[in-house]
């Protein structure tokens, strides 16, 4: 059963790189620092911001809010982005993340793992 849906869109140029440590988890920050292209760094940071904002919007009042750097956006074995967080146990979290020129967008759906 779906218990939450959230979406967020971010103007890539408006995300301040000085806030990377507040937005990114330790694992994400390590990956971010290895990018050599400033454009790729901006897209990565904005995408993570959008995904975490969308997650916050999808959460019910009893689930959050959370510090963004306690949530990791990783990749599964196929390269698809996935949200890793121990903060929402017993739920499946689905994420769609996209970048296009000036914007990054994310959609999150939270559902219970076991339906009655």
Active-site residue, 34 included: no
Start-end of H helices in 24-93: 26-34, 38-58
Spatial separation of the C-alpha atoms in residues 19 and 45, rounded to whole Å: 9
Active-site residue, 26 included: no
* List 34, 57, 80, 113, catalytic entry: 57
Residues in Cβ contact with 36 at an 8 Å cutoff, skipping those fewer than 6 apart: none
Residues with catalytic roles:
57, 99
């Amino acid at each position: 059963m779906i218990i939450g849906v959230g979406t967020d869109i971010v103007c890539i140029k408006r995300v301040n790189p000085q806030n990377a440590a507040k937005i990114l988890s330790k694992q994400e920050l390590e990956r971010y620092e290895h990018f050599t292209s400033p454009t790729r760094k901006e897209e990565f940071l904005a995408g993570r911001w959008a995904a975490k904002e969308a997650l916050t919007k999808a959460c019910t009042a009893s689930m959050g809010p959370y510090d963004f750097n306690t949530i990791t956006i990783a990749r599964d074995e196929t390269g698809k982005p996935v949200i890793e967080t121990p903060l929402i146990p017993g739920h499946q979290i689905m994420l769609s993340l996209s970048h296009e020129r000036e914007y990054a967008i994310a959609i999150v759906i939270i559902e219970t793992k076991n339906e009655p």
